[in-house]
Structure 1
């Protein structure tokens, strides 16, 4: 079986550019069109190798228009969609390739990858089974099948004991006093409440790639769960007339870039409040350091440091994209379960001075959603595959009016008219969301009413994008601050991710 990522003799860009406004139009297939289609495929394959994935997608699309009977074009485009995290489109293309050739094993791999990224492990397992029937002795196929089967079995087990885990979260069994502090431990100690001095020591220790002792780590987790459990689903935030408020987007485990934000904009304090808008963890390999730093500041300044749930503060994402593996490597499996429970308690949105709504993903598949509807969401769970909670975490804006199926396979694309109606109904000025890489770290869309903020520069050490944060002043006017990535220790992104992600 070939090992090349695309069939051949083989920049990520803003996902909104990939939104499909209308179906692709195929032309009658002739020998000439087949030849021309091959030239587009060859060009796309070269672009894929150069990591110009969006350009590759466009050229695979041109090949499909000229010859819509060739499964390789769909399979290759599926792989490119996977690379830009357009999992819904990737799934669609892989299924089309299988429809054209039900023995085309690469297409089964592509579809399995898409289903895995969407957390649909049972469907992925069926595709691995199809590959195994053709290549029963292939070591890679066997490994992927075994890993996926392990996840399916674990999910079945967790479902069977779900009643017990809901009534008695793992955190309640933790006895902090049972974790003795060794004489050799030279890090910060937390005997009472968190102080600013403790936080500075913690930052310095993490910068030096040393861990907080398990005793104090568990103490922070116990206290932060109590706090978030008592939070509202939509947290109301107010700040003084003469002050500023800072909004940050995805951090994704890029701890040293988080420290750079604090260097550029100042450490959190009552006079320098922050809101981090989800996706604190996964992908970057310093997610443990990021999350404990954020939890520490939240406990130190509960009314001046805010955190909202993102789509990566979920069990399935953490199992796939590294946070689960990182916590187990640096601490324990028990702690990983505790993080899952705490993430279930995070607020879903923040309302700033009654006029600016901040959520991780975006708006909804139906009109007439009110702030009260959002406040009534039952958030203490894993997000469902549809509905208001899902869309808050997963949806994306599009540049044209109306709604479209999501490129991610979850949530919805919403246009300027949808944003305008939502703002008018709820008497809001604009919305701020995150969830998407942007070249400058931010994007202003929908006539200035929909702002995207992304704070992980050079995302996954390969995107070349800047990060950004927003300073909001008393008149609610956003001021954008872009910055470049800083160096970090030589631990690659995704170092703790599931082996299944080796497919894409």
Structure 2
């Protein structure tokens, strides 16, 4: 419990009845939830539950706060407890369904939407969610039925960019040959002016990136020469204008100014299309000096929830959103710098003895599995306590300093750089400096108030890393999650 929540709880110490005291603390938690201070709200709901564990609404409220924090495992547990206490608590079914959707457990989500329909047969929103979820379940079943391992057809193979015409009125950058620095500068200016890249050029970039990534291993070794600066960035989450500000602060990517972006390029922010094409463009321009790791948000289920699929459909079409799913499946999972720094989006897995060679050979061209090394690389988080714990996210693990030490020693590494978590200053140092979290989306979702950050190292000075924090910059008046599916409205 933090000092802030402790001070709030102390205000009600004079109330002798624990049930009345719990109700007052819950009311305070609701205020902080409304102000989008979810960490504090969760602590207060927990305090209320400790005083009165028989109130289903306390668990239900904590469940939605956990959903907002993307702690899907904790959200599931709270929704289950709320339903156990009150089997007719409709909101808990909604929240459990949302958590299961985020984890790709569509059939379980469908059962909950079916339950809601029974409780509220005339509820149009419940009917809509049931129908949309049902479509997803049927689509997945159909895809499995027609799938053939020996003759797998990819949608991306059917894309012919030159079949798409460029509008005669188009006055932006043109991609009729190889990508150039001039094209990238013009593309950034074009995007900043809120203009769209024609679909012909968009598909050209996707296809070129796909063909590059598909020939790579799941683990990429990066060599940084002595004295050369190298930059590691964390989550961007569709915050295009903050990405461009980062480049203004640290310099545009180049052969002498290389970058690694550590996953979660898209979702949440409503400029994910502009963000991903900017990153792919620099990857194609500087394939040996610009690197991209897959994050947990480069996945089909989260793209459906958090807006990327909807944004691609709105700005282009549904087919392109499916092609992006195939592209994301090809992204590398982990990078190792100068054989000493391991960079991945999430972290370690329950397999304490996994080696770098095993990570290099990981089968990655799929949606994230529910466990194992690939799941850990995309989903896991560090914890202060030794050992391994169940993740609050519902995927991956939480791992302690002893696990970090063992892994680093076994693989002759100095430290781990990972992302995946919002931090007030944009970064956090864990496990006595053997793990760093770096997060590069300042004022996440226009509401958290955090700074972003990036790491600089040089080839001859790997430790300690130099970390720079930066503030958010203004962007056009388009709210985060503008393109998120109504199916995943956590306020329902």
Tell me, in whole angstroms, the C-alpha distance in 2 between the residues paired with 1:108 and 1:180. 47
Number of corresponding residues:
477
Q: 1:493 is matched with which residue: 456, 471, 480?
A: 480
Tell me, in whole angstroms, the C-alpha distance in 2 between the residues paired with 1:140 and 1:190. 44
> Residues 442-474 of structure 1, C-alpha deviation per residue, up to 9 Å, x if partnerless?
001100000000000010111100000000112
8 Å Cα contact 1:88/1:114 also seen in 2: yes
Equivalent in the alignment of 2:96:
111
Cα gap change, 1:491 to 1:152, in 2 (>3 Å): same
1:166 deviates by: 6.7
**3-state SS in 1 of match to 2:461:** coil
Q: CA RMSD in A?
A: 1.7
Is 1:339–2:315 an aligned residue pair? no
Equivalent in the alignment of 1:229:
214
Tell me, in whole angstroms, the C-alpha distance in 2 between the residues paired with 1:33 and 1:184. 69
Cα gap change, 1:162 to 1:328, in 2 (>3 Å): farther
**3-state SS in 2 of match to 1:503:** coil
**3-state SS in 1 of match to 2:398:** strand
Equivalent in the alignment of 2:462:
476
Is 1:456–2:444 an aligned residue pair? no
What are structure 2's unaligned runs of at least 5 residues? 6-15
Is 1:415–2:400 an aligned residue pair? yes
Equivalent in the alignment of 1:67:
52
Tell me, in whole angstroms, the C-alpha distance in 2 between the residues paired with 1:433 and 1:256. 23
> Residues 295-340 of structure 1, C-alpha deviation per residue, up to 9 Å, x if partnerless?
1111110000000100011111111111111111111222112111
Tell me, in whole angstroms, the C-alpha distance in 2 between the residues paired with 1:217 and 1:131. 41
Equivalent in the alignment of 1:193:
178
Equivalent in the alignment of 2:345:
360
8 Å Cα contact 1:309/1:360 also seen in 2: yes
Is 1:53–2:38 an aligned residue pair? yes
Tell me, in whole angstroms, the C-alpha distance in 2 between the residues paired with 1:391 and 1:164. 26
Is 1:396–2:381 an aligned residue pair? yes
Instruction: Give the TM-score, by structure 2 length.
Output: 0.94
Q: 2:235 is matched with which residue: 250, 257, 271?
A: 250
Instruction: Give the TM-score, by structure 1 length.
Output: 0.92
8 Å Cα contact 2:438/2:453 also seen in 1: yes
Tell me, in whole angstroms, the C-alpha distance in 1 between the residues paired with 2:21 and 2:340. 53
Equivalent in the alignment of 1:276:
261
Equivalent in the alignment of 1:82:
67
**3-state SS in 2 of match to 1:443:** strand
What are structure 1's unaligned runs of at least 5 residues? 1-12, 18-30
User: Map of 1:301-450 to 2, 5 A cutoff?
Assistant: 301-450=286-435
**3-state SS in 2 of match to 1:476:** strand
1:80 deviates by: 1.6
Tell me, in whole angstroms, the C-alpha distance in 2 between the residues paired with 1:165 and 1:100. 49
Equivalent in the alignment of 1:286:
271
1:106 deviates by: 1.8
1:165 deviates by: 11
Tell me, in whole angstroms, the C-alpha distance in 2 between the residues paired with 1:366 and 1:34. 44
Tell me, in whole angstroms, the C-alpha distance in 1 between the residues paired with 2:57 and 2:312. 39
